[in-house]
Amino acid sequence: MINQYFTPIFFKITKIAAIFTTWDISQTKQFTSLTYYTIGNIFNKMNNYERALAFYQNAHQIELQMLSTNRLYIEKYQDSIEQAKQNLHWSN
């Protein structure tokens, strides 16, 4: 049910990012990874750790695919993945 609200928002954000012609592909990927991370945080705050974990993993994978990865983001995403796994474990 929540997914039906986030999917259109994500695609609108992606379209807005495409408007900025000065951005290169790595900046678009960065924007996308941050969007996934933010949505993961929303699910985490809603105690939906399984969905949060999926979004954190997507953010992490996108960041790893970038030519010039940002180590700080990768570490932040890895920490969030581990925290979501722990929360998922304790919630079961």
pTM value > 0.75: no
Mean pLDDT score, 13-17: 55
pLDDT at 5 over 60: no
Percent of the chain with pLDDT over 90: 43
Domain ranges in the chain are 25-91
Q: How far is CA 61 from CA 2, 34, 47, 73, in A?
A: 23, 12, 23, 11
Average pLDDT, the chain: 79
CATH number of the domain located at residue range(s) 25-91 in this protein: 1.20.58
Q: How far is CA 63 from CA 6, 9, 11, 54, 57, in A?
A: 20, 20, 19, 14, 10
14 pLDDT tier (thresholds 50, 70, 90): low
